[in-house]
Structure 1
Amino acid sequence: MDEYAALLSVATLWVVAAVTPGPNFLVTVRVAVTQSRVAGLHTVAGIILATLLWASAGFLGIHSLFNVAPWMYLFLKLAGGAYLIWLGLKLLWGSVDRTVTSSTQDVISTHGWRAFRLGFITNIANPKTALFVAGLFAVAMPPEAPAALGLMAIALMVTISLVWYSVVAWLFASRRISRAYARLGHWIDRVAGGCFIFFGVRLVRE
């Protein structure tokens, strides 16, 4: 019974974290709207792989590793923040001059491997995810939780992320939303670019 309660706690906390708009949400929406549903789902696959890695690292105690080697966390934080700021600047530049939109879209998406890579890097670039997961396990899981329970919790987190971001990619790839983007693309890119820069700066400063 305690195991079910722990898994319910993990699921509740992770649902809240997943549905809260952040870089993963923004990049999934951007790829789905500007490219295709398939490209959006490739981006989701990259996000899911990074989620699996961060969840596994959180369960194994990466927070302790960061305490032992704080330079590692600092490096990941600065690199991740710089990457998000770079994405944001690319979007802003593309929104100002539509002649560079195609090059911007090459950065923010495309198909197959590149869309997968974009989703993976966007998620793995945020080491705060590992700290959040470590805190989640500390709060929701019993002390010295067995490996089987940890694996179930990780599988639950991956499943929640997969379902949520797949739904996002599916919905935002609809023709109606794509047509709206065609009309308002400049402003949407400016808002998205500003959000990426905001997330990047916040990651670097915290």
Structure 2
Amino acid sequence: MDFSLYTHELIVLMTAMVIALLSPGPDFAMVFKQSITYGRRASIFTSIGIGLGISVHVIYCILGIGLIISKSIILFNIIKYLGAAYLIYLGIMSLKSKGFKIDKNNIKYDKNMSDFKSFMVGFLCNALNPKATLFFLSMFTVVISIDTPIFIQAIYGLLCMLLTTIYFIIASLFLTKDSVREFFNKFGVWFDRAVGAVLISLGIKIALSK
């Protein structure tokens, strides 16, 4: 098999993926909050969750369900409202927060945020993100040919997952630097409220989008 035939698809997909990652959205807001609030370990697990959350979009696109969703307003609206509700819920929780203290040595973390919970926060944030749904639907219906073998499409998906995970882990490492954390330590309550407002705004925007 001549893999060079799929080079163009891969280049377009990876370019679009990088642009999408650089555009601030729910995933970045979540990693930002996890990094500052709970520390490096929680943020890294959240980053891994976001990366693996992409598998949900890739799987339904490969199975052809993506095409069905793109043609069904009802199914897409269900996904949209679930994602919007989840973001609004997270935002409300942030608004109710009484602030936090950051451990400068990156040793102690909030016991309420286990590794599994951190992972699931990231996984659900991406899996229920309508922006991610729209992105992968467009990629798998416009950029990627229907004749592209399933295992090649799976490789595309794995590369997207890997790129996303690496990007957010790097972001986590930066956001958990002592200088960054000390700054946010002085404005913990206001930071949580600001992030909460952003998450709620994103949720409302998604819910009202057409």
* TM > 0.5 fold call: yes
Q: Tell whether 2:163 aligns with 1:137.
A: no
Determine the C-alpha separation between the residues in 1 that align with 2:13 and 2:39.
32
Determine the C-alpha separation between the residues in 2 that align with 1:158 and 1:66.
21
TM-score (norm 2): 0.85
| Map 1:48-67 → 2, pairs under 5 A | 48-67=51-70
Determine the C-alpha separation between the residues in 1 that align with 2:65 and 2:19.
22
8 Å contact from structure 1 (residues 77, 203) kept in 2: yes
Determine the C-alpha separation between the residues in 2 that align with 1:88 and 1:36.
19
Determine the C-alpha separation between the residues in 2 that align with 1:31 and 1:199.
17
Q: Tell whether 2:32 aligns with 1:42.
A: no
Alignment counterpart, residue 31 of structure 1, candidates 9, 18, 34: 34
Determine the C-alpha separation between the residues in 2 that align with 1:128 and 1:176.
32
Alignment counterpart, residue 5 of structure 1, candidates 8, 27, 41: 8
8 Å contact from structure 1 (residues 10, 140) kept in 2: yes
Number of the residue aligned with 2:179: 176
Determine the C-alpha separation between the residues in 2 that align with 1:154 and 1:200.
26
Determine the C-alpha separation between the residues in 2 that align with 1:12 and 1:187.
35
| Map 1:115-130 → 2, pairs under 5 A | 115-130=118-133
Gap runs ≥5 in structure 1: none
Number of the residue aligned with 1:186: 189
Q: Tell whether 2:206 aligns with 1:203.
A: yes
Determine the C-alpha separation between the residues in 2 that align with 1:67 and 1:35.
37
Number of the residue aligned with 2:157: 154
Deviation at 1:111, TM superposition (A): 2.6
Counterpart of 2:187 in 1: which secondary structure? helix
TM-score (norm 1): 0.86
Task: Tell me whether 196-205 or 131-140 shows the greater mean CA deviation.
Answer: 131-140
Alignment counterpart, residue 85 of structure 1, candidates 84, 88, 97: 88
Determine the C-alpha separation between the residues in 2 that align with 1:3 and 1:64.
21
Equivalent residue pairs, number:
198
8 Å contact from structure 2 (residues 36, 176) kept in 1: yes
Deviation at 1:139, TM superposition (A): 3.0
Gap runs ≥5 in structure 2: 102-108
Counterpart of 2:96 in 1: which secondary structure? helix
Deviation at 1:11, TM superposition (A): 0.4
Deviation at 1:131, TM superposition (A): 2.7
Counterpart AA for 1:164: Y
Counterpart of 1:142 in 2: which secondary structure? coil
Number of the residue aligned with 2:167: 164
Shift of the 56–30 alpha-carbon distance from structure 1 to 2, 3 Å rule, reads same
Deviation at 1:9, TM superposition (A): 0.8
